[in-house]
A and B are shown apart, each in its own frame.
Chain A
Amino acid sequence: DGGITQSPKYLFRKEGQNVTLSCEQNLNHDAMYWYRQDPGQGLRLIYYSQIVNDFQKGDIAEGYSVSREKKESFPLTVTSAQKNPTAFYLCATPRNPGSGANVLTFGAGSRLTVL
């Protein structure tokens, strides 16, 4: 969607397993973000990266890990340490190169369900 692609769309995980969600963008933007959305709650920031090989924790980073080895890719790993991983995960990048952290283009999301 809008140059940012998330996969898979749906993912099921057994308790104790790590899973990795993919996020790829072809907009050549430096910054990328991961948000989590739960019913009845606003989107919350998990991790963000302003540049390749660098990333920062957001508000709810515990139980998650990320990497930023390439500009176009920002995968999110949901580890077994995440106590309540069932959620809708959204990746985003700035809508325009100078629009910062607030005007974002989001991917279509990945829905993770723990069985």
Chain B
Amino acid sequence: EDQVTQSPEALRLQEGESSSLNCSYTVSGLRGLFWYRQDPGKGPEFLFTLYSAGEEKEKERLKATLTKKESFLHITAPKPEDSATYLCAGGNTDKLIFGTGTRLQVFP
């Protein structure tokens, strides 16, 4: 059965305190691993695509990495505006299989 599991469910950080979010996945016909950001009451916004183990992508304070079974979203020196829910999804030809997300709160 296709499954994407994210941890932790929630994370509270002080501004400048770096951390990582975890995503483990089992998806048949996997084409790639995808990260989205979702602000409260809004639709998800695409962040990264990772296609093969060892691949890394960066955007500002975010860096996504991929192994054969897991992906990590590293947040370096976060700011309050990084507060959001971060969604991980495995993608096959027809759809995305989403995890439940990690709700990140960054305090000044």
Q: B41 within 8 Å of A by Cβ?
A: yes
* Closest chain B residue, CB of each to CB of A39: B100
Q: What range describes how many residues of A lie at the interface?
A: 20 to 34
Q: A3 within 8 Å of B by Cβ?
A: no
* Closest chain A residue, CB of each to CB of B3: A42
* Closest chain A residue, CB of each to CB of B93: A101
Interfacial chain A residues near B99, Cβ < 8 Å: 42
Q: A64 within 8 Å of B by Cβ?
A: no
Interfacial chain B residues near A92, Cβ < 8 Å: 43
B32 near A107: Cβ-Cβ < 8 Å: no
CA distance A48 to B93 in the complex (A): 12
CA distance A1 to B89 in the complex (A): 21
* Closest chain B residue, CB of each to CB of A88: B41
Give per-residue flags for B1-37: 1 if the beta carbon is below 8 A from chain A beta carbons, else 0.
0001000000000000000000000000001101000
A109 near B42: Cβ-Cβ < 8 Å: yes
A102 near B87: Cβ-Cβ < 8 Å: no
Interfacial chain B residues near A61, Cβ < 8 Å: none
Q: A74 within 8 Å of B by Cβ?
A: no
Q: B60 within 8 Å of A by Cβ?
A: no
B34 near A102: Cβ-Cβ < 8 Å: yes
Given contacts A41-B100, A48-B94, contact A109 B32 (CB under 8 A): no
Interfacial chain A residues near B97, Cβ < 8 Å: 42
A to B CB contacts below 8 Å, 17 in the list: A1-B43, A42-B4, A43-B89, A44-B98, A45-B94, A45-B95, A56-B94, A58-B95, A90-B43, A92-B43, A95-B46, A101-B93, A101-B96, A102-B31, A102-B32, A108-B43, A109-B41
Across the A-B interface, the 8 shortest Cβ-Cβ residue pairs: A106-B43, A102-B91, A42-B98, A43-B98, A45-B95, A42-B100, A106-B44, A90-B43
